[in-house]
Amino acid sequence: MSTIYDLNAAEQVRSDAFVSGEIPVAIYGLGKMGLPLAAVYADTCSNVIGVDVDPDVVTAVEAGDCPVSGEPGLPALVEQTVEEGALRATTSIDAAANEAMIHVAIVPTLLDDDRNPDLSILQSLLENVGPQLDTGDVVFVESTVPPGSCRDEIFPLLEETSGLERGDFGLAFCPERTSSGQAITDITESYPKVVGGVDQESTEAARIVYEQLNQKGVIPVSNATTAEAVKITEGVFRDVNIALANELAELADPLPVDFKEVADAANTIPFINLHQPGAGVGGHCIPYYPYFLINWIHMEFPLLQTARNVNDSMPDFTVDALHSQFEATNQDIKNARVLVLGVAYRGNVAETRAAPAKPIIERLSKEAREVFVTDPVIDDLSDFEGSEIKLADIHEKDFDAVILVTNHEKFDGINWDSFDPLIIVNGRPSATISSEKHRVYTIGSGLQSNGKL
Ligand SMILES: NC(=O)c1ccc[n+]([C@@H]2O[C@H](COP(=O)([O-])OP(=O)(O)OC[C@H]3O[C@@H](n4cnc5c(N)ncnc54)[C@H](O)[C@@H]3O)[C@@H](O)[C@H]2O)c1
């Protein structure tokens, strides 16, 4: 039987063996990113066993159902690949690891309460996979990890638990570079896959496999640590860039100047890529990954930490902006009924992890008379304080103020003219509030109209 980790075998032979399904694949973690990855693998090689510790996830996938929402194309691909027998699912790590020759780990790697990278889920998974590894197997880690993890932690762990030696099996870091809401296209065609192994054979094995999955091809880098650094660098670039936009957005008040207009003009030079300011940075990537350097590598990262502090301060900046507008109109926020539009961390995405809406609502609940919360893409708002209100019902209620935290497309349908004059803080400059009637303060753009208040 062919293996993928075998430099002596011709590349074409290994590639053909992979796409023909001769080389079984296990994908560990069938979450928001793991299930799309498993479905794309299954569509490519027809021999995938997905593993998840959550029996409900496994039951759903086995039935051809898709437990992950908000990913276009995913339900159809899961249904198709399960029906074809290309994708199966199990809760048994041992059974899947025993069968598979390619092992892909895409389980959560988060931060602990002190913001130290927490690799315990990944480590415990690989402690179970290790004893099942055979000569010629390869492990691909897709979960984001701090640079150096494959070399210093994961490879030694696999060596110890498998009893195999360097050269018997492969390990490559192949970072997930996808965004929620576009996983399938990101995995298959948006941009190339970056791969880096602990040895040349591992990098080659990863290149051969991912060239079959990704139409944009593969960028093989020197080693696993480089691939890990690529992923973290992408995250910290975004965080620092957003922090710069957030800091410069404050120029809107003293100058005054519309930062959006400034950024749009500045960005016409190719090497400038200013991001947009906003009410805060959420999701489980950008706010977390800077700590994969700050709290892992023994050196100072003053810029990264400052960027984190700036971005973490934006929910307060947003509520402060609301206070300023109340003061400017001689009103007291204590008497105000405030509507919060959106709890998702990003527009049109059903995810609330580290969402800036949380601290915004917490503070408003203490400072305003009543807080209402609506989000058309999040079914369960029980994690958030305030009274839930359906988007369809907001026109029936009287509010004194609105904070737009998330730029969901569904908010474009709000009939702003139907409300009595409001104070509005727009926390997403890409969202337009089309009414002259209200007093609108947009982060980065400042006070847009004097309104009627
Ligand atoms: N979501 C994103 O946008 C994104 C983007 C880039 C990278 N990533 C990386 O991918 C990882 C996974 O992200 P996600 O969004 O799919 O997470 P998720 O929380 O949606 O899903 C994780 C899944 O892993 C399962 N799981 C936990 N422990 C397990 C174990 N020991 N064995 C098997 N399954 C187990 C959970 O039950 C869950 O279904 C992240 O931690 C991150 O490193 C995610």
Nearest CA to ligand 1 atom 7: 176
Judged against a pLDDT cut of 80, whether residue 453 lies above it is answered with no
Q: Is the dihedral of CA 49, 50, 53, 56 positive or negative?
A: negative
435 and 331, same domain (yes or no): yes
Domain count, the chain: 2
pLDDT in tens, 212-258: 999 999 999 999 999 999 999 999 999 999 999 999 999 899 998 99
Distance 127 CA to ligand 1 centre (A): 17
Q: Do residues 168 and 180 lie in contact, with contact meaning Cβ atoms separated by under 8 Å?
A: no
Average model confidence (pLDDT) across the chain: 96
Distance 119 CA to ligand 1 centre (A): 12
Query: Sorting pLDDT into bands at 50, 70 and 90, what band is 291?
Result: very high
| Domain assignment of residue 142, given as a range | 11-222
Distance 34 CA to ligand 1 centre (A): 6
277 and 367, same domain (yes or no): yes
Q: Which atom of ligand 1 is closest in space to residue 107's alpha carbon?
A: 24
Distance 86 CA to ligand 1 centre (A): 21
Judged against a pLDDT cut of 80, whether residue 449 lies above it is answered with no
The residue count for the chain:
453
166 and 283, same domain (yes or no): no
C-alpha to C-alpha distances, 311 to 115, 147, 232, 243, nearest whole angstrom: 16, 23, 17, 6
303 and 416, same domain (yes or no): yes
200 and 235, same domain (yes or no): no
Mark which of 222, 249, 266 sits at the end of a domain: 222
Q: What is the CATH number of the domain that holds 56?
A: 3.40.50.720
Pocket test for ligand 1, best of 27, 28, 32, 157 (most atoms within 8 A of CB): 32
pLDDT in tens, 41-99: 999 999 999 999 999 999 999 999 999 998 999 999 999 999 999 999 999 999 999 99
What six digits make up the tokens of 374?
Answer: 């609506």
Q: Ligand 1: which residues within 6 Å by Cβ?
A: 28-34, 51-54, 57, 93, 106-109, 121, 124-125, 143-144, 176, 178-180, 285
Q: Which atom of ligand 1 is closest in space to residue 351's alpha carbon?
A: 1
Nearest CA to ligand 1 atom 5: 178
200 and 246, same domain (yes or no): no
Q: How far apart are CA 436 and CA 451, in angstroms?
A: 6
Going edge to edge, which strands form the sheet with 387-388? Answer: 387-388, 370-374, 337-341, 401-404, 423-426, 439-442, 446-447
Helices 314-328, 357-367: crossing angle, 10 deg rounding? 40
pTM across the whole model: 0.94
Pocket test for ligand 1, best of 176, 233, 285 (most atoms within 8 A of CB): 176
Q: Which atom of ligand 1 is closest in space to residue 34's alpha carbon?
A: 16
Distance 438 CA to ligand 1 centre (A): 43
Distance 244 CA to ligand 1 centre (A): 30
Distance 35 CA to ligand 1 centre (A): 9
308 and 362, same domain (yes or no): yes
CB atoms within 10 A of CB 386: 21
**Which residues are bridge partners to 140 per DSSP?**
104, 172
Distance 238 CA to ligand 1 centre (A): 21
Mark which of 169, 196, 222 sits at the end of a domain: 222
214 and 274, same domain (yes or no): no
Give the pLDDT of residue 8.
86
